[in-house]
Chain A
Amino acid sequence: MQIVPGYSTDFGSIRLIQQFRLYHLSRPSVKKWRTVRHGIPYQVDATDQWILNNLQDDKLVAVDCAGWYFKEFNINTTCLESDLLSKQYFPGCYVEPDIFIHRPTYIPDDQMVVFKYPWFLKYATLDQFINFLNTWVRSITVLNFDPIFIQHNHLKFSLEKLVRNQVDLNIQIINSRLWTVSP
């Protein structure tokens, strides 16, 4: 019997169908967006609605969430993705594989930046999360994620308190899965 030490794409190359499966798993908006082609309005979720209600201008940066659907709402959207597969759906997106640790200089410092369940925040360590915030937060940054999946003792500590102790950023908790962070 062959033993798989952990589910990682580093373990060996995965099949193309699996690459697509994982891509869609972390970006459910793609499937919803594709229905728009048939004349069905894009069905926003609570986070989308919050963004639409709170966006100060008509520009935002959507990171690793196939966020080109915001264009359906006449929002000037810059799409940044870590997976080259995104080009299959939206050739106009930027692809940056090291998006977790690198904020490209062409991303403006004055636009809202949105992350929706980015894969890299799942099982990230607390230090990685802190570095991520310090790297990315130049303007109001919307984080739609599961705080429990940032590695910490969630049975004893609140992630929010741990983070507030380590960064000099303004954190607002909209709900248990939606934070906004600003400088």
Chain B
Amino acid sequence: MTVNHDLWRDQQLNGFKNLSGASPILEQEQVMLNFVKTYSDVVWRWVATNTKFKKICQQHISISNTDYNGIIIFGPVFHQQTTQSLVTTIKKLTSECDYAYVTINRYEVIRHDMNIALPDNIDDSLDIIMYHCDPKFKRLHTFNRVDGNHMIAAHPMDCYGLCR
């Protein structure tokens, strides 16, 4: 399925009848906000899906793509990755940052091509892969089942935070 990320999240959320308030957000988005708001002095670079959620974030944190010391990464940048390409991408993007929020759609990691043994459990495997990006990455949220018409495309559920 091809997803227009610009529209997907807002369209799906607007599909609910009983949401109150102007800006409902997903649980995993709340996890991100809680994490990034912890570091009030950090300016964040946004390397992620551009949806209404970015505008919500701008009400709470500073975002700049030129002068930053934190980075938020999710969305198309991780499309159809192998474990090696995922690690390379994350290392490169986070190399000059003290803080990072990274969230992965586990179904966009399609093949394991690193020379490390993975545990049997997919959650543990992703944790190992993130450890190879930086041992200080901590898991903030874990994929849990949603129905087939899902919101993972809007904001993935395997979320990690980094504070160097």
The answer to the question of B77 belonging to the interface, with a C-beta cut-off of 8 Å to chain A, is: no
- A7/B112 contact (C-beta < 8 A), A13-B18, A14-B17 known: no
Which of A11, A18, A25 has most chain B Cβ within 10 Å? A18
- Given A1, A123, A153, which contacts B120 in the complex, CB threshold below 8 Å? A153
Number of interface residues of A (CB under 8 A): 35
Contact of A4 among B1, B11, B24, B110 (CB under 8 A): B24
Residues from chain B with a CB closer than 8 A to the CB of A5 are 27
Give the CA-CA distance A155 to B111 in the complex, in Å: 6
CA distance A15 to B19 in the complex (A): 11
Question: Which of B15, B24, B26 touches A18 (beta carbons < 8 Å)?
Answer: B15
Q: Given the interface contacts A3-B27, A153-B125, A154-B122, does A122 sit within 8 Å of B148 by beta carbon? A: yes
Bitwise interface map of B from 142 to 159 toward A, beta carbon under 8 Å scored 1, else 0: 001111111100000000
Residue A12, interface by CB 8 Å: yes
> B24 contacts which chain A residues (CB < 8 A)?
1-4
Report whether over half of chain A's contact residues are helix, strand or loop; otherwise say mixed: loop
Q: Which of A72-80, A84-92, A135-143, A144-152 contacts B (4 or more CB under 8 A)?
A: A144-152
The verdict on B65 contacting chain A, using a C-beta distance below 8 Å, is no
Asked if A102 is an interface residue, CB under 8 A from chain B, the answer is no
> Does A21 belong to the interface (CB within 8 Å)?
yes
Q: In the complex, what residues of B have CB within 8 A of residue A166's CB?
A: none
A112 to B146, CA, bound (A): 30
CB of A125 to closest CB in B, whole Å: 8
Knowing A3-B30, A151-B145, A156-B112 are in contact, say whether A13-B151 is a contact too (CB < 8 A).
no
Using a Cβ cutoff of 8 Å, how many contacts connect chains A and B? 114
Q: Which residues of chain A come closer than 8 Å to B90, judged between CB atoms? A: none
- B164 to nearest A CB, angstroms? 26
Q: Which of chain B's residues 11-36 have a Cβ closer than 8 Å to chain A? A: 11-21, 23-27, 30
Query: Are the CB atoms of B151 and A7 closer together than 8 Å?
Result: yes
User: Which residue of the partner chain, among A14, A25, A125, A149, contacts B16 with CB atoms under 8 Å?
Assistant: A14
A155 touches B122 (CB 8 A): yes
Of chain A, the residue at the smallest CB distance from B149 is A22
Cross-chain pairs A/B with CB under 8 angstroms, 14 sampled: A2-B25, A5-B27, A6-B146, A7-B149, A8-B146, A13-B17, A18-B12, A21-B11, A22-B15, A22-B149, A119-B147, A153-B120, A153-B121, A153-B125
Given contacts A3-B24, A14-B15, 13 further A-B contacts (CB under 8 A): A2-B25, A6-B146, A8-B146, A9-B147, A12-B19, A15-B16, A119-B148, A120-B148, A123-B148, A148-B107, A156-B120, A156-B122, A157-B120
